[in-house]
Structure formats: C-alpha cells, structure tokens
Structure 1
Amino acid sequence: MPNIGEEICGEYLKYILKCDFVSYNITHPDTQGEMDVIGIQLAQKAIYVCEVVTHTQGLEYVTKGKSNDYNVLKAKYERGITYAQKYFKDYQIRLMLWSPVVRVNTPKAKYNTMNELKRLQEDLPLDIEFVINFRYQQALDKLKAHAIKQTAMFTTPVMRMFQIEGNLQNHLEKLRKKGVEEYK
C-alpha cells in the first residue's frame, strides 16, 4: 500500500502525465530494495522510475549518524535503472525525485542537500526530474485543478480530498457572493 507521498506521485503520473499503468513499491527480483513508484506510458514507450521522500522536515537519509542522501539515492536509482533496462528494453527511462521539503542551505553549511542532489545528477547516466519545493507545490496544484473538474468520485483518498476541497471552495465562494453567512 502506498504512503501519502507515493500516492501523490502516482496520481500525478496517472492523471497529469497520462501513464497507462502506475505501480507502487516494486521489488526488484534480482536485488534487495524497492522502487517507490513506477509509471508506464505505452504509446510513448516511456517508464518513470520515481523515488518519493515525504519527510516534512527536509530530505535527509542518515546512516550511522551521518547524512547519506547521495549514497542512498544513488543506489535506489541504479536499481531502478537496472530494472527498467532489463524489463523495458526499448523504453525511455525517466527518473523523478519527489519530496515536498528539500532544504537549501547556505554555501558554507557543513552539509548541503542541494549540492548532494547536483552531485547525484552528475554521477547518474540519466537526468533526474526534481519535483521538490516549488515544483512539488505546482504538482499538487495541477492535481487539485484536475480533481475539481471531475464529477465522478475518485477512488484514491488524495484525489477525493482534492475534489472535495476544491468543490467546497467553489461552493463557499458562491455563497459569499450571495451574502450568505454561516449558521451559528
């Protein structure tokens, strides 16, 4: 079962990027570890390999008391690339990192998450699309806008919540324009 961040990523792949299939927490049969979210576009022959880190205080993997974002993410993406190359030979592989909060430290900071992500980008054979900070908010906004337009009930909690929230906001705005106040 996906966590809330994985569900957000998966719904984005499904509704915004129009993936035909989305799957969560896929274990690689040849190695230990899992890929958080995979999305597949059949006609475009594209596979999205997504790592989702929903830490509200910032992206930070720690090993033996030290920040280890680079090594953890590199290993995860290498497994994902290997999986995609083996099982989706003719597909374009697209890597994504989803995290709502990635701290932007000062250049003199002892540990700088953004520098580690830049290093990761340089060392992997494929580009990573970073859906972090402002881009994460933009992704949420796109999902909300999509949800509001739909009249059928969504089956996932995230999209249903966006649908309810958006329709409530629209309804309340109409009431305000009519001068209707909340009953006390």
Structure 2
Amino acid sequence: MINVGEQLVASYLRYIRDCEFTQLNLYTVESQGEIDVIGIDLNHRRLYVCEVAIHLSTGLQYVKNKRPNNINKLTSKFSRDIEYANAYFADYEKHFMLWSPVVKNARPGSLYNQSEHLKEIASNIRGTHGVEIEFVVNQKFQDCMTEMRHFAASQSAELKCPIMRLMQIEEQLGKHIVRLNR
C-alpha cells in the first residue's frame, strides 16, 4: 500500500527540489534499516535523506514499552542514515530532513514535549556527526504543501505523480469554478 506521507515528500523532492531520482523505503543492508525517502539531484550533486512521520492525532510520537521514544528512535535512524549517505554519496552535498505535520509543544519543563525532543535530536546528531537536521514540521510542512500546490496550479501538462495530479486537479477546478461564477 502506498504511504501518502512518503509519496508527498518524494513529490516535493521531485517537483520542488528538482531531484531526478527519488526512492521510497530504501533498505540499507549494512545497518538493517530503512530510509523513508531519498532524493538525488544529479545536476547539483545534492542528496536529500528524509524520515517521514505522519502521526496526526498524537503528533510526533514514537513509543517503546508504552513510553515516548522520539529521541532514541530518531537519533538512531538519522545516525544510520548519515552513515549510509557518507558511505555511498561521499562527494554529494547532503540534506537530512524530518517531515512531520504535527509536532506538539507541551508546557515548558514537560517530560514529553515533542518540540523539545526535536532540539535534543538535533543536538545529538550535531554532537555525534556534525550534521544539522532540517525539521519540516508544523508551519514549515504546511508551507511546503503550499509550494507544491502553487507548482501544480502552474502546470498545464498532466502531472504523473498521483499526489501532484490531485493538487493540480484541485487548483484547476478552483480556477474553473471562479470563472463560472463571474
């Protein structure tokens, strides 16, 4: 079954970041892990390595033993992702991204503050690998979707990706309805 969140990120990389190749669910044999989405921009030698967490009602919430596990889970995933990217794309400019539409911010000092978890994950990865993680969350996630909608609205040829085609249909239909109601 298609994972719509991963397809959304792959579409963003393809249409907005100009990646010629995108791969979903790349299994990394050495680390026995999986990278949700990879995008390769051959022209500029850029690699995008993305983890995607579409948890809507709970927000960003990985659990282990019935306890939140965002920090350990995502620090581990990104560490494996970085090792893979460095091994196979050493001469590429690398971008590591976490895409999650809902990241909740609890009261200051709260033990399970998802926004604070992101800060700790970023600190762990920066300290261990010297790499910055780009967090595409909340408003930034919405902004990327808006970028995709604007792109879809500007295209007259059929977009082959189902997500982008849906956005294209919605945008063209909206324009058509406005013209009908004049």
TM-score when scaled to structure 1?
0.92
Specify the code of the residue in structure 2 equivalent to 1:22: T
SS at match of 2:165: helix
- Report the equivalent of 2:64: 63
Q: Aligned with 1:89: secondary structure?
A: coil
What's 1:86 paired with?
A: 87
Task: Report what 2:166 is aligned to.
Answer: 161
Tell me which residue corresponds to 1:128.
133
Max Rg structure = 1
Alignment deviations for residues 85-128 of structure 1 (CA, whole Å, 9 cap, x no partner):
11111112211010111111110323111111101111112111
Q: Structure 1: where are the runs of 5+ without partners?
A: 178-184
Q: Displacement of 1:2 after TM fit?
A: 4.5
Equivalent residue letter for 2:173 = L
Secondary structure of 1:38's match?
A: strand
Q: How much does 1:65 deviate?
A: 0.5
The corresponding residue for 1:140 is 145
- Extract unaligned runs of 5+ from structure 2: none
Segments of 4+ moved more than 6 angstroms? none
Aligned pairs, number: 177
- Alpha-carbon shift at residue 43 of structure 1 (Å): 2.5
SS of residue matched to 2:159: coil
**Deviation at residue 46 of structure 1 after TM alignment:** 1.5
Report the Cα distance in structure 1 between the residues aligned to 2:47 and 2:55, rounded to whole angstroms.
Answer: 25
Residue type of the alignment partner of 1:17: R
**Counterpart position of 1:180:** none
Match of 1:55, as an amino acid?
Answer: H
Moved more, 40-49 or 11-20: 40-49
Once the 2 structures are TM-superposed, how far is the Cα of residue 19 of structure 1 from its aligned partner?
1.1
d(CA) in 1 for partners of 2:134, 2:109: 26
Q: C-alpha distance in 2, partners of 1:11/1:92?
A: 20
Identical aligned residues as a percent: 41
Matches within 5 A, 1:12-31: 12-31=12-31
CA distance in 2, matches of 1:83, 1:116: 24
1:149 aligns with 2:150: no
The CA RMSD over aligned residues, in Å, is 1.1
Cα pair 1:2 1:25 within 8 Å, conserved: no
| Cα distance per residue 1:21-76 (max 9 Å; x no partner) | 11110011201120000011122221111000011120100000000001111111
Q: State the distance in 1 between where 2:141 and 2:77 align.
A: 20
